[in-house]
Every structure is written in structure tokens, then in C-alpha cells.
Amino acid sequence: MRLFAGRLRGAEELGHVIPVIMPPSVSVVVCTRDRPAHLENCLRAAQKLRYPNFEILVVNNRSSETQILEMAGQFHARYVYVPKPGLSIARNAGARASSAEIIAYLDDDSLPEPHWLDHLVQEFRNPNVLAVAGRIEPVSVETEAELFCEEMSPPAEERRRRLSVDRNTADWFAIANFGGIGIGCNMAFRREAWSIWPGFDERLGRGACIGGSEEHFAFFSLIDKGYCVVYCPDAVVQHPYLHSMEGLRERYLKDKAEATAYASLLFFEFPQYRKALIRILIARWKRSPRAWRERRRLPGRIAPKWRVLIALLWGPVVYLKTRTSKT
């Protein structure tokens, strides 16, 4: 926190300049691609944030430049254009463009609640905390697909339980890597994280070869280096579920392939954690219950077993493609 010379109401009569504590500066980075209607709603919600010291930074990842630039100006947001596609590429570009003490991330279809930033920033009072993720609540639960998504989500009492994770936390490797902390549409990082961590792995995330798990890999990397990552349930963002069963089915199969692709990355690139990873995979296969933010069982079969099997087997192939593309 910084001090600045300011005047409180009534201080003029006393002739005093009273120092006021300024909270940490925050850049709210919103990465977007070809979803102007969603972006407009997100920026409108972000404008209503009550936190006193923040800016909004729109990162345009290959959308129509004129339209997004004009929208950023309409909401008094800073603007960065990133021609190379990839969510992790865009997030890293947003961090480089910011000089704030804390970098917070929203997806362009996220709707932060007014005190979202206040709760995220409060967790950074602990100097060992380098990242914080917040709670996700649905925009609506009405369609068949939305009801499916809600039934698959952790129970409400689990979503409202604060969690602090470091290397001393039981099952920290599983919690960090497989969704026990949070997801990328509601998270923040201390700027110092980039001095000990290279940023989001650009092989991961939407638009990359492995289309997810970039936030999990970030949390894992920071905890592995000896730092702490927190799940803060009071920092709430609304995010829509998939509306149609067809869209949910395709997303479910993609998630299966991305999960085994990411597990392959961990297996080959972090041999010191292979035993832990194998234990996790065996537990998943047996459908053993987890003690942390347990996802409920599917209320019915969402895709044929043969399609699920193909998706699971395709994941390691996707990971191998990332290795061959580097050579």
C-alpha cells in the first residue's frame, strides 16, 4: 500500500494535509475475441466495481479492431491488440501492458459483483500469497443444459468454503492441477509472480493446442515454487453455463480430451510427481470421492461411452503434438 497527500472533508479549515492510505493498484484485464455483446456487458459490470484504485484493460485477441477499440474507449478502458490467437498469449500481453501491483482477470462473458476486487485484494495482505481465485455463480439456471451444469457443479456449501493452498496442504498437487482452486474467469495475481514465474504457458488455454488448464498450471507452478494460492468465495463473478445440450456435450468431450492432454504434460514434464499423478488417475477411474470441492456425478449420460473413450485417448496425442511442434 502507498501513502499520498490528500485532504479529508473539513481539513481545509484546519489547514492540515492528512495522509491517506491508497490501496494496491489493480489492472482488470478482460481478454476478448469476437464477442462484442458479451464484452459490453462485462465492461458495464466492471465499471460498477466499488474498489477505489483500478483500471480496466481490454485485450483484443484478433477481433474486429475498430469495434473493440471504440467499445474500450466508451468505457474508459485501456486497449491492447494482440494479433496472435490464444487466451494465454492475450493474458500474458495484458500483464506486460500493466504496471499495477495486482493483475486481475475476467473472461469477456463474466459479470463481477461490485465488491469483487475488494475481496480479491484483501487476500494479498499475506505476502506469501501470489494468486487468488474467486467464486463462480451462474447467470441463469433455466434450460436443460444449465440444469445439468448446476447438478455437476460442487454443492453450494463447498463453493462457499475458503481454501488456502501451499505445499503443506494435503493433496495440494491434485487440488492445484484438477480444479480445486478456481478457474480463469475469476482470478488475480500479484505482479511479483512474474519475476519468479514465466507467465501462462502458451501451449495451454483456449485457442492453443491444449484448450484448457492454463490457470491450473499457473496455480501449480506457483505453489510448487513455495508460494500460496487462495480460493476466496466472497469474490464473486457471474458466468453463464452452456445453454444447449449439444453445446454441453461437445464441451464435455473437449474437457475429457484436454484433461488427458494436461495429465500427459504433467507426467512427462514433471517426473517427480508421477506417483502422485498416477494415484489421482486411478482414483478418478474408480470414481473415488474427493475431500476437496467434490463435483457431483452426472445426472445422466451426456455422451456415448465410445465417444468419451475416443476423447480420453485423443488427449495424449494432442500433448505429443505440442512436443513435436517445439522441435
- 184, with CB counted inside 10 A (0-12, 13-18, 19+), is buried
**Residue 16: pLDDT over 60:** no
Per residue in 95-137, pLDDT (tens digit) is 999 999 999 999 999 999 999 999 999 999 999 999 999 999 9
**Residue 174: pLDDT over 60:** yes
Give CA–CA dist 113/116, Å, rounded.
5
Average of per-residue pLDDT across 234-260: 91
Per residue in 52-62, pLDDT (tens digit) is 999 999 999 87
All structural domains of the chain, each given as residue ranges with its CATH number in brackets, are 20-243 (3.90.550.10), 246-326 (no CATH)
Contact in structure between 267 and 323 (CB atoms under 8 Å): no
Q: Which residue, among 181, 166, 178, has the nearest Cα to 224 in the 3D structure? A: 166
The DSSP bridge partners found for residue 230 are 132, 164
Contact in structure between 61 and 82 (CB atoms under 8 Å): yes
Give Cβ neighbours of residue 56 (< 8 Å, ≥ 6 apart). 27, 28, 30, 43, 46, 47, 72, 75, 76, 77, 78
Per residue in 190-202, pLDDT (tens digit) is 999 999 999 999 9
Report the SS3 class of residue 190. Answer: strand
| Contacts within 8 Å (CB) and 24+ apart, 77-82 | 77/30, 77/43
pLDDT at 13: 44
Give CA–CA dist 62/73, Å, rounded.
18
Average of per-residue pLDDT across 12-32: 75
* Helix 245-269 vs helix 305-326: crossing angle, to nearest 10: 50
**Residue 9: pLDDT over 90:** no
* 208 DSSP 8-state letter: S
Q: Which residue, among 15, 19, 16, has the nearest Cα to 6 in the 3D structure? A: 19
Write the CA distances from 191 to 97, 130, 260, 313, integer angstroms: 12, 8, 31, 38
pTM metric for this prediction: 0.87
Give CA–CA dist 87/276, Å, rounded.
29
Q: Where would I find the H helices in the chain?
A: 11-14, 36-47, 65-74, 87-97, 116-123, 144-152, 156-159, 172-177, 193-196, 214-224, 245-269, 274-286, 305-326
Place of cell 501513502: 3
Per residue in 25-46, pLDDT (tens digit) is 999 999 998 888 999 999 999 9
Give CA–CA dist 196/179, Å, rounded.
23
Give CA–CA dist 277/235, Å, rounded.
30
Report the SS3 class of residue 36. Answer: helix
Give Cβ neighbours of residue 90 (< 8 Å, ≥ 6 apart). 31, 33, 59, 61, 82
- 173, with CB counted inside 10 A (0-12, 13-18, 19+), is buried
Confidence of residue 297 (pLDDT cuts 50, 70, 90): low
The DSSP bridge partners found for residue 239 are 138
Q: Which residue, among 240, 239, 238, 244, has the nearest Cα to 145 in the 3D structure? A: 244
Which range (17-21, 162-166, 282-286) has the least confidence? Answer: 17-21
Contact in structure between 295 and 242 (CB atoms under 8 Å): no
